[in-house]
Amino acid sequence: KQQNQRFKSFHEEKWAQRLAELKMFQKEYGHCLVPHAYPANRQLARWVKRQRRQYKLMVDGKPSTMTTERVHLLEALGFVWDRHDGAWKEKVQELREYQAKHGDTLVPCNYKSNQQLAVWVKCQRRQYKLFLEGKPCAISEERIAELEKEGFQWEARIANEKPNGQQSD
């Protein structure tokens, strides 16, 4: 029994250590989306992935090392349980920032200040087209509504026709 308690204590300490590392990451980058291949701290990247897996097991009612206390500690940092959802929110925020700067959501394909945003916008348009055609797609009605709330232009042709032939930086 004492051996088991020492084992549990060791794992609690390791978990607390990784949580502290995640806090430092969050403080530095403003989010908890640790990349899978994070060269500065591979152990943290693996730990974050493991927390998501353990959370899913817990939600599914399967044996898990995740506890409600741990869930609260992670959520207090802004931990994102679904990585794809987190990436989506990040891009929507970048779109809002673009809109604040340019007055619209017409991100051109050649937007040099944030090429990833330009690619993401193009992808959303493609997914929307598939959605309208009733084909398998990676965009939901909720996400469509969220983009439309931001004034998103679905037609790339319209999006690239800025007044006076202007090009965004």
HEC sequence for 111-165: CHHHHHHHHHHHHHHHHHHHHHCCCCCCCCHHHHHHHHHCCCCCCHHHHHCCHHH
Same domain assignment for residues 87 and 16: no
Total length of the chain: 169
For 43-100, how does the pLDDT look when each residue is reduced to its tens digit (9 = 90+)? Answer: 999 999 999 999 999 999 999 999 999 999 999 988 888 877 878 888 999 999 999 9
For 17-31, how does the pLDDT look when each residue is reduced to its tens digit (9 = 90+)? Answer: 999 999 999 898 878
Predicted structure pTM score: 0.55
Written as one string, the DSSP assignment of 20-45 is: HHHHHHHHHHSS----TT-TT-HHHH
Distance CA 117, CA 92 (A): 9
Check residue 3 and give its pLDDT: 58
Same domain assignment for residues 62 and 101: no
Same domain assignment for residues 42 and 23: yes
Q: How many domains, the chain? A: 2
Query: Pick from 76, 106, 141: which residue ends a domain?
Result: 76
Provide the domain limits for residue 107. Answer: 83-165
Same domain assignment for residues 87 and 45: no
Same domain assignment for residues 159 and 90: yes
